[in-house]
A and B are shown apart, each in its own frame.
Chain A
Amino acid sequence: MTRKGKRLTLIAGAMAVLGLAAGLMLFALRDNIVFFYTPSELAKKQVAAGARLRIGGLVKEGSVVKNGHDVNFTVTDKTNDLAVSYTGLLPDLFREGQGVVVDGVLQPTGAFRADSVLAKHDERYMPRDVADALKKQGVWQGETK
């Protein structure tokens, strides 16, 4: 192969690999990203049932009902509520009145079916998404750390 030919092969190969990677990324970004909403944002957004979402807020006081591994609770941002159902073990730090982030699918009934529940990690820590949302609603209390 000539010098020019070699160089072209190299460039063509590089383009092919990078193009493939870019294509894969766009494809994956279209299908695999999950939006984060608070219950109020969700109420405003008109999200279609079946969408994968991540919801953040506080676990409403007195809302947790356990039945074996089935748990029902309400996530609230003090303006709007969202009923959540979940099956499985709750994280160590899951408490009423504390911050929580749930991943799952919005049901046609308007309720939320969670497949994972994340609780805050630490006394001072609250999922930042939740803290921001609560600050926006003006119901934030506690340290801003």
Chain B
Amino acid sequence: MIVETGHYALVLALALALAQFAIPFIGARLHDAALMRVARPAAITQFLLVALAYGALTYAHVVSDFSLVNVIENSHSLKPFIYKISGVWGNHEGSILLWVLVLSLCGALIAIFSNAMSDRLRADALAIQGLLGAAFLLFILLTSNPFARVALAPWEGRDLNPILQDPGLAIHPPLLYLGYVGFSIVFSFAAAALIGGRIDAAWARIIRPWTLFAWIALTLGIAMGSYWAYYTLGWGGFWFWDPVENASLMPWIAGTALLHSAAVMEKREALKVWTIFLSILAFSLSLLGTFLVRSGVLTSVHAFASDPDRGVFILAILVFFIGGALALFALRAGALPVGGVFAPISREGALVLNNLLLSACCATVVVGTLYPLALEALTGEKISVGAPFFNTVLIPIALPLALLMPIGQMLSWKRGDLLAALQRLRVAFVVGVVAAAAFGAWYGTPFLSIIAAGIAIYLVIGGLSDLIIRARGGSGRASFKRLAGLPLSAFGTSIAHAGMGLTLLGLAATGWGVESIVAMKPLSFYDVGPYQIGIESVSPRQGPNYSEVYAVMAVRKDGATIATIEPAKRFYQARRMERSEAGIITIGLGQVYAAIGESHEEGTVDARLYWKPLVTLIWIGALIMAFGGALSLADRRLRIGVARRAAAPALEPAE
């Protein structure tokens, strides 16, 4: 009964989503306040209905209701509780339902936090959000019904893909979706602004917190996913340039560009058309990612099913929304008031350069992801575009971007003084050069790692110098007071930039990693970087729904054991599938990483051993970036309620 209620709620949500589109949209055209007012309750109720459906599916998974196809294929009665919950989105139907849940949540959030805007803008934005919801609800109901039953329920399910049975994966998809789909809010506002024909600084002020919110979630989601890949796939890699990973990176880059261009639009009323375009682009890339992952054109851990109907349906949604938004953009952008022109050497000039470089990065990822697909479709040739391509193109773009980031922070709006900015950065620059020399002396080549590490240190110091310089002067107490008085968004920028620097340092340090593949004999030790690793014992163990062989390994430095790690090879009975569980120990900022392969009769065990200096910085940096974003989001000047007062004059007719 609960399952049927969930299914029914989904159908109701579809009907409501259509109403949420049609009624306010017509109301906005007729200037009918009563019709426009339908939007908010409709959006909130739609969210509640989808949440009900989602809850029903979760319930079916938790009680192992094997009369549902979805539960049979992805669950097992012995599966640990947490994976019964996360297993809901560990499959095609459930993950698309989670997608729609987040989408309707975004609609509800707009409905709740949208006091500070005109009725028409709100009504149009919620209408677009309703249309998006309707399209995806229809997709679920027609092609991917998670509530489909079977006539004869089996006793046991087929279990969740073991690779997905991991705590990291319990958090990764919801965060990622919050980011991906969070951009739908910005998309809806962009479309609404184009329909209404009024775009000003107030509009930028409305979308900035939403952009930040989506960006923070996406940053965390990507970092989480990359750490998961790192410790479960057993290769020691954290990013594979897999199209599915790229699918999340593309909206992230576009979103980062949008954050910066929206700042220019808000402060200087410039870059309007560009900001609108980026707003459309960020969500379009999210849709593209959804298409790539959910349509079955790709195979990967993430692509659960390949059913051509689904692919065509998502492609139709994609074409409709991206095409529609771009057509609207083409029709209306010409009529938008042109923003001010400004000096190249200024904060806004630097932000334009930032946008250019980020766009180039984004285009690279798009080309690298789509080119193989296009080539295969057109010529039948199959190629793979991997790390060498992305490294060749992205490194020469990203390193100059990193060099420019602190400079941009130091320039003032309108007219900046490049010389003065560089002078303020001299400490950061000197420290960066010294650090590069020190890294070079300590770790040695590759040369690229040394340069990148130097730039990374410069970026960390340079990012934070802005705060120090603004607080400096007078007694220590006065400085502290000044520091405390700085707006939170200034802290946000500096901290996010410093976080980027730390991530860059972690990435640079991958060049200094040590990898060794050995057949380990019992009680002999093998060198991995500055450490020695040896096997103490190898034994079997039984988990809830798997059995495993695990090795206890001692990690030694200079003869003294400093840690033990337990890499394991697990066998999941239900799917007759094996998976490695890496043994990882964090030492300082680096990690010793071990994965075991086959054990042989004479007692030797095949193993991959790695020493990865500074590797944790990759994810720590991402966390710090997200924290910086959260600080900016908390800044009261960006908060919507406060923005209303500031925005009031701008809302009057522009004529």
Contacts and interface: CB of A to CB of B under 8 A. Distances in A.
Nearest to A1: B343
Interface residues of A, number: 40
A3 B384 contact: no
Contact of A24 (B163, B393, B575, B597): B393
Given A10-B344, A10-B352, A21 B363 contact: yes
B contacts with A: majority SS: mixed
Interface stretch (A57-65, A76-84, A105-113, A121-129): A121-129
A21 B395 CA distance: 11
Interface string A110-136: 000000000001110101110000000
B301 A121 contact: yes
Contact of A89 (B389, B397, B517): B517
Interface residues of B, number: 50
A14 B356 contact: yes
A28 B299 contact: no
A32 B344 contact: no
A92 B234 contact: yes
Contacts of B353: 13, 17
Contacts of A7: 341
A29 B375 CA distance: 12
Contacts of A121: 163, 301
Interface in B475-489: none
B577 A34 contact: no
Given A24-B392, A92-B569, A125 B299 contact: yes
B361 to A, nearest CB: 8
Contact of A129 (B363, B382, B577): B382
Nearest to B307: A145
A84 to B, nearest CB: 17
B580 A123 contact: no
Interface string B545-587: 0000000000000000000000001000001111110000000
A139 interface: no
Interface string B133-162: 000000000000000000000000000010
Contacts of A1: 343-344
A51 interface: no
Contacts of A28: 388-389, 392-393
A14 B357 CA distance: 9
B197 interface: no
A54 B386 CA distance: 12
A123 to B, nearest CB: 5
Contacts of B412: none
Contact of A35 (B234, B352, B383): B383
Contacts of B343: 1, 6
Contacts of B349: 10
B396 interface: yes
Interface string A3-45: 1001101100110011011001101110111111100000000
Interface string B585-623: 000000000000110000000111000000000000000
A93 interface: yes
B393 A33 contact: no
A40 to B, nearest CB: 13
A13 B608 contact: no
A69 to B, nearest CB: 6
B386 A34 contact: yes
Contact of A123 (B381, B396, B577): B577
A68 interface: yes
A89 B606 contact: yes
Contacts of A9: 344
A34 B368 CA distance: 12
B393 A128 contact: no
Contacts of A88: 517
Contacts of A125: 299
Contact of B299 (A35, A37, A128): A128
A92 B579 contact: yes
Contacts of A3: 341
A21 B360 CA distance: 6
B519 interface: yes
B197 to A, nearest CB: 24
B161 A6 contact: no
A79 B589 CA distance: 51
B392 A21 contact: no
B388 A123 contact: no
B383 A123 contact: no
Contacts of A47: none
A49 interface: no
Contacts of B356: 13-14, 17-18
Given A33-B385, A122-B575, A25 B364 contact: yes
Nearest to A38: B382
Contacts of B517: 69, 88-89
Contacts of A93: 577-578
A9 B359 CA distance: 18
Given A24-B393, A33-B383, A92-B579, A6 B364 contact: no
A122 B356 CA distance: 41
A138 B575 CA distance: 27
Nearest to A54: B384
Given A33-B383, A35-B381, A145-B306, A6 B392 contact: no
Contacts of B305: 145
A129 B305 CA distance: 15
A8 to B, nearest CB: 10
A130 B354 CA distance: 42
Contact of A27 (B161, B392, B397, B576): B392
B371 interface: yes
B309 to A, nearest CB: 14
Contacts of B371: 29
Interface of B: 161, 163, 234, 298-299, 301, 305-306, 341-344, 349, 352-353, 356-357, 359-360, 363-364, 367, 371-372, 381-386, 388-389, 392-393, 396-397, 517, 519, 569, 575-580, 597-598, 606-608
21 contacts: A10-B344, A13-B344, A13-B352, A13-B353, A13-B356, A14-B352, A17-B356, A24-B364, A29-B367, A31-B388, A32-B386, A32-B389, A33-B385, A34-B384, A69-B517, A88-B517, A89-B607, A90-B598, A92-B580, A125-B299, A128-B306
